[in-house]
Amino acid sequence: MNTRISLYKKAVILFFVFLLPVITYFLLKSGQNMYKPLPVYGPKEVASTFHLKKGRKIQDTIYHTISFYPAADTGKIIMANFLLTDEMNGNKAANEQTWRLVDYFKKNPKLLFVTYSANKQWLADSSSTDNWKVVYAPIDSLATIAQQQYLLNEVQIDSLTRKPTASRRYVMLDNHHRIRGFYKMENRFNIDTLMDEVKVITVELIREEDDKKLK
- Domain range summary for the chain, segments of one domain joined by +: 1-34, 65-214
For the cut 50, the answer to whether the pLDDT of residue 26 exceeds it is no
Higher pLDDT, 30 or 185: 185
Q: Which residues of 53-89 are buried (b: 16+ CB within 10 A; e: fewer)?
A: eeeeeeeeeebeebebbeeeeeebbbbbbbbbbeeee
pLDDT band at 162 (very low <50, low <70, confident <90, very high): confident
* Per-residue model confidence as pLDDT tens digits over 135-150: 999 999 999 999 999 9
Q: What number is the average pLDDT over the span 12-33?
A: 48
* Per-residue model confidence as pLDDT tens digits over 72-86: 666 899 999 999 999
* Per-residue model confidence as pLDDT tens digits over 175-197: 999 999 999 999 999 999 999 99
Higher pLDDT, 142 or 15: 142
Residue 14: per-residue pLDDT: 45
65-214 has which CATH code?
3.40.30.10
* Per-residue model confidence as pLDDT tens digits over 82-137: 999 999 899 999 999 999 999 999 999 999 999 999 998 888 655 557 889 989 99
Q: What percent of the chain has pLDDT over 90?
A: 50
Q: Which residues of 159-184 are buried (b: 16+ CB within 10 A; e: fewer)?
A: eeeeebebbbbbbbbbbebbbbbbbb
Q: Are 180 and 197 in contact (CB under 8 A)?
A: yes
Global confidence as pTM = 0.79
The closest of 127, 125, 160, 122 to 142, measured between CA atoms, is 122
Q: Is 44 helix (H, G, I), strand (E, B) or coil?
A: strand
How far are the Cα atoms of 66, 173, 205 from residue 85, in angstroms, in the given order? Answer: 22, 23, 34
Q: Are 185 and 154 in contact (CB under 8 A)?
A: no
